Structure 1
Amino acid sequence: MEGGTILFSGFTRLCKGLAAVLVIVYVISQLVPPTIDYLALIPGKTVPFAWNLLTAGYLEQSIFGLILNIACLLFSGKLLEPVWGPREFLKFIAAVNFSTSISIFFTAILLFYITGRDEFLYTPLSGFHGVLSGFLVGVKQIMPYQEITAFHVFKMQAKWLPSLMVLVSIVVSFLTTESMLYLPFVIFGTYWSWLYLRYFQRNPETNLKGHRSDDFAFSTFFPGFLRPIIDAFASICQKLFCGNAQSSSDEQDSYVLSGISLPVSDPIEASRRRQRGARALEERLGTTKDEEEAVGGDRSHEDASEIV
């Protein structure tokens, strides 16, 4: 009983507030169905109703989806928000939600021009599951090697959760048409959340951007035998779109302070940080030396007193 109480407690106020927003938007859409045309992402109506790029991510059209979204939001926030901080947690949700909606909009337009089918333009698309997929990427970032047990039988490391989510969504999308509507949110939510965490998220402790560890590279979302191909393709794309500056940033300069290595991608910033680190280290060594001299002086005084 006590374990169950702990499991369903400790949810953050921010996540509770976001859950309330999801409930309110759902209730409004059910009581006034025409609001779906203004809140959901309908690519053919996004111009001039551009606000649906923001609102679509917070509109769930089924009660099952609403319950699932709220549960995942509360438990994910309980894990991620204390690590990232409330401000960064909210920025992550906003960035992933908006970038996912933009990607789905352009994908729908492209598919319409390729196929000529109007349903790509006028099917209401919405849901919080793009951000939920991003939460799994966040779990991969902070605890990749944590072992997770499902149904007391199936065991896997947390780093495979995003890949499993995408794989299951692709398989399920072939079974029902409704499930296919969720697939773009899952795929784009997974990708954009990784991109944000990899290059743009600011670490509140180090004030540095991104998570450049090899364990968080894009190829780690794929099985081992595919990683050389993915790394080669990613390297080509990086050179084409980011140039040599971005390629060199992956070499990650670092500075060391108190034995902790912190990644830095900007050479100028790295130089400044190394200088600050050196000064701090010198000050710390100087303080330690003064303390040792003081202790030594006290001991000499004590020895002299004993002799007397």
Structure 2
Amino acid sequence: MPPRINIPPVTRILLILLVLQSLLSAAIRYRQWTANSEIVIPYLTLIPQLSLLYPWTFFTTTLVESNVFTVAIAGLTIYNGGRYLERAWSSREFGKFLLISSLIPNLLTFGTMVLLFTLTQNERWTLTTIAGTVPLQISFLVAFSQLVPAHTVTLFRGILSLRVLRFPLVYITAILLLSLTPLLTSASFFLAIYGFLTSWTYLRFYKTVFPDLDSSQPASLRGDASETFAFAEFFPGPIKPFVASISEQVFNVLVTMRLCVPFSAADVSAARGDNFLQRSVPGGARAEAERRRALALKALDQRLHAATANAATRAQQAPTPPTVQPPAPSATGPTVQTQPQAQPETAMTSQPSGALGETRYSPDHDAGKEVH
């Protein structure tokens, strides 16, 4: 009997809707296909000039892909990323994150297309289809950057190594290149940009933090004031100061407009302390736990080697105990059966297996100041 695949409810719904809507879109385009015209579906996907009569398209368009390649990528992303995040955050928090990271980028891209049409008077902008899971995919990458910011992913057998914080920028670059091909529309690049900004802003300032029962963190804490999740940390070192300066000015403007609330001294103190990390699941801090687990495994491995070596040395140096002769049986009394002589304990000489392994952990050594 094949093993049962356990998929959390929200992730399962996303996968079903992705497959159904993509198949429906493909069937409609197949039936209406002509060699001289481009087929649009304004009641399923978001098209600025045609979809105002169908407001639900601001939600449905995110789970519509136009070809097999993008459907496969979207399915793998939702299956793996969705399961991880939903189990880490709970279904309710994960659903809220999905709603924000898909609806707001769609609205902002819609407004950008209308603005470009106003500036250029080119009708192509308002007839461009805004669809696809691009905002969800980059939102997942931003969430992983918050959960495990100091971890490194090694690709192609060590040829390429990238920190998790670098993946959103790499993804945006890839989307920019693919938007120049028929695989993606020009709106995909704007979806990636707005998805990145929206998801980071929500996780940085608004997402509710799970209370950690092992710490004194307040239950009403929101956002993530840690320096490792600052906006400039997503960019390479040489341009970090420039990005930090710009992001600080933008943050001050948003605070003036009352769209963002500055972190309090307690928030910053909690984020820098050992007992608090936003990147956590209920009952513990994920990033800190993984770091400590790696160090504990390494220390345990070293202790096992040392204990094995010491036991073997003591066994070799220990003198052989003298042989004790049993007493002679009495001539008049009954024969007493002597107990068998205990054998000396054999020392363990086998080496500990390498099943424990080691976890690579490369904390960020950049001592830049906190940037909002």
Is the structural similarity TM-score above 0.5?
A: yes
Residue identity opposite 2:112 in structure 1? T
Q: Following TM superposition, by how much is the alpha carbon of 1:50 offset from its aligned partner in structure 2, in angstroms?
A: 2.1
> Are residues 1:67 and 2:65 paired?
no
Partner of 1:118: 123
- 1:19-98 equivalences under 5 Å are 19-33=15-29, 36-98=41-103
Which secondary structure state, in structure 1, belongs to the residue aligned with residue 95 of structure 2? helix
Q: Which structure shows the bigger proportion of residues in helix conformation?
A: 1
CA distance in 1, matches of 2:171, 2:111: 23
Aligned match for 2:205, one of 194, 199, 207: 199
Give % identity. Answer: 23
> Are residues 1:134 and 2:139 paired?
yes
* Cα pair 1:11 1:75 within 8 Å, conserved: no
* Cα pair 1:12 1:74 within 8 Å, conserved: no
* Cα pair 2:129 2:185 within 8 Å, conserved: no
Aligned match for 1:218, one of 201, 216, 231: 231
Q: Following TM superposition, by how much is the alpha carbon of 1:261 offset from its aligned partner in structure 2, in angstroms?
A: 4.5
Provide the alpha-carbon RMSD of the alignment: 2.8
> Are residues 1:241 and 2:261 paired?
no
Partner of 1:260: 275
* Cα pair 1:141 1:216 within 8 Å, conserved: yes
Partner of 1:101: 106
Moved more, 26-35 or 100-109: 26-35
CA distance in 2, matches of 1:52, 1:173: 21
Q: Following TM superposition, by how much is the alpha carbon of 1:246 offset from its aligned partner in structure 2, in angstroms?
A: 8.1
Partner of 2:175: 169
Which secondary structure state, in structure 2, belongs to the residue aligned with residue 212 of structure 1? coil
Higher relative contact order (CA 8 A, sep 6+): 2
Q: Following TM superposition, by how much is the alpha carbon of 1:176 offset from its aligned partner in structure 2, in angstroms?
A: 5.0
Moved more, 151-160 or 93-102: 151-160
Aligned match for 1:158, one of 160, 164, 185: 164
Aligned residue-pair number: 257
Moved more, 57-66 or 139-148: 57-66
Q: Following TM superposition, by how much is the alpha carbon of 1:182 offset from its aligned partner in structure 2, in angstroms?
A: 2.1
Structure 1 pair 175–262 and aligned structure 2 pair: CA distance change class (3 A): closer
Structure 1 pair 244–57 and aligned structure 2 pair: CA distance change class (3 A): closer
Q: Following TM superposition, by how much is the alpha carbon of 1:260 offset from its aligned partner in structure 2, in angstroms?
A: 2.4
Residue identity opposite 2:123 in structure 1? D
CA distance in 2, matches of 1:213, 1:130: 24
CA distance in 1, matches of 2:6, 2:142: 22
Moved more, 29-38 or 43-52: 29-38
CA distance in 1, matches of 2:114, 2:156: 42
Structure 1 pair 216–117 and aligned structure 2 pair: CA distance change class (3 A): same
Which secondary structure state, in structure 2, belongs to the residue aligned with residue 126 of structure 1? coil
Structure 1 pair 213–116 and aligned structure 2 pair: CA distance change class (3 A): same
Partner of 1:14: 10
* Cα pair 2:45 2:61 within 8 Å, conserved: yes
Partner of 1:270: none
* Cα pair 1:84 1:203 within 8 Å, conserved: no
Unaligned runs of 5+ in 1: 264-308
Unaligned runs of 5+ in 2: 33-39, 212-218, 279-372
Structure 1 pair 215–117 and aligned structure 2 pair: CA distance change class (3 A): same
CA distance in 2, matches of 1:261, 1:29: 46
**After superposition, what is the alpha-carbon deviation per residue over 1:112-156, rounded to whole angstroms, capped at 9, x for unaligned?**
011111011112220012111100000000001112111212111
CA distance in 2, matches of 1:71, 1:247: 34
